[in-house]
Amino acid sequence: MKEHISMISNNDIVLNLNKFKSSIPENVTLIAVSKFQSVEKIKMAYEAGHRDFGENYVQEMKEKYEQLPKDIRWHFIGHLQANKVKYIVPFVHLIHSVDSLKLLTEIHKHALKHQRIIDCLLQIHIAKEETKFGLSFEEARALLFSDIIKTFSNVRIKGLMGMATLTDDGEQIKNEFLSLKHFFDEINAQKISDNVQFEELSIGMSNDYKIAIECGSTMIRIGTAIFGERQKT
Ligand SMILES: *Cc1c(COP(=O)(O)O)cnc(C)c1O
């Protein structure tokens, strides 16, 4: 017989959060990835003092935003379609997954409308798997050095995001993260535009965050290691 062992108590959530907070360096932001997790679980983490949450789906993030305290910092980490940008621009804290000029143009347009400055990261494809979204280093360079970026007064490009290949091979994961860190340093050494200010390197998930921190991560995105298995409804 198959047992359901995916239950995790609210107490566990707080314990897991505290375990992370006491073990990661101070300059690393812990983003609790709450996709497919209940509002109740998010509230538990919130009441324990946590404020940074990550979501992958526009509709889900918007619904949770509406139900939860307004000082939560919502990180959008999933694939973002240009036609859905308008729903998150009013409240999003940081968009980690910018992967085209078209998308950035749309974010700027809605940011202007809402008189907000939207912080973004460029998502770079570093994994071997073809299914993962993101720009190549070449495409990211082309985007960063395009003249139009300078005219985007209401977006700030704050750094890079990447996902390593899903593998047990720690060396491979490390090499992928380091390739991103090197690109980060390359861009950071240049003066591109006032709205390109690299500060954040968003790498590391439940399975590879320790390697990511060794490789210079400033933001880790942790889902299952905090909340347990996701409940896909
Ligand atoms: C789901 C997701 C995470 C969290 O993954 P876990 O393995 O549950 O920690 C982090 N980043 C992105 C982009 C995700 O889609």
Ligand 1 in contact with 224 (CB < 6 A)?
A: yes
**How crowded is residue 85: how many other Cβ atoms within 10 Å of its Cβ?**
23
SS3 2: coil
* Token pair in block for residue 169: 């091979």
Is any ligand 1 atom within 6 A of the Cβ of residue 223?
yes
pLDDT tens figures, 174-226: 999 999 999 999 999 999 999 999 999 999 999 999 999 999 999 999 999 99
Element (H, E) at 170: helix 170-188
**219 CA → ligand 1 middle, Å:** 12
CB atoms within 10 A of CB 66: 10
CA dist., res. 122 & res. 89, Å (int): 16
Least confident of 24-33, 121-130, 151-160: 121-130
> Does 222 contact ligand 1 (Cβ within 6 A)?
yes
Q: Which residue's alpha carbon is nearest to atom 6 within ligand 1?
A: 223
- For 177, the domain range is 3-232
CA of 155 to the centre of ligand 1 (A): 25
From residue 174, alpha-carbon distances to 75, 107, 127, 199 in Å are 24, 32, 11, 20
Whole-number Å distance, alpha carbon 93 to ligand 1 midpoint, is 18
Q: How much distance in Å is there from the Cα of 150 to the middle of ligand 1?
A: 31
Over residues 4-39, the pLDDT tens digits come to: 445 677 789 999 999 999 999 999 999 999 999 999
Distance (angstroms) between ligand 1 centre and the Cα of 227 equals 11
Query: What pTM value is reported for the model?
Result: 0.95
The answer to whether the beta carbons of residues 146 and 182 sit under 8 Å apart is no
How much of the chain, in percent, has pLDDT values that exceed 70?
96
Kindly indicate the confidence band of residue 89, based on its pLDDT and cuts at 50, 70 and 90. very high
Q: Decide if pLDDT at 1 tops 70.
A: no
Range scoring the smallest mean pLDDT among 90-94, 103-107, 171-175, 226-230:
226-230
Number of domains the chain contains: 1
**Structural contact between residues 186 and 224, judged by C-beta atoms closer than 8 angstroms:** no
Q: 143 φ, ψ to 5°?
A: -65, -50
Ligand 1 near 206 CB (within 6 A): yes
pLDDT at 5: 46
CB 167 near ligand 1, within 6 Å: no
For β-strands 73-76 and 52-55, DSSP reports them as parallel
The dihedrals phi and psi of 100, each to the nearest 5 degrees, come to: -160, 160
Residue 216 belongs to a domain with what CATH number? 3.20.20.10
Instruction: Output phi, psi for 206, to 5 deg.
Output: -50, -40
How much distance in Å is there from the Cα of 222 to the middle of ligand 1? 6
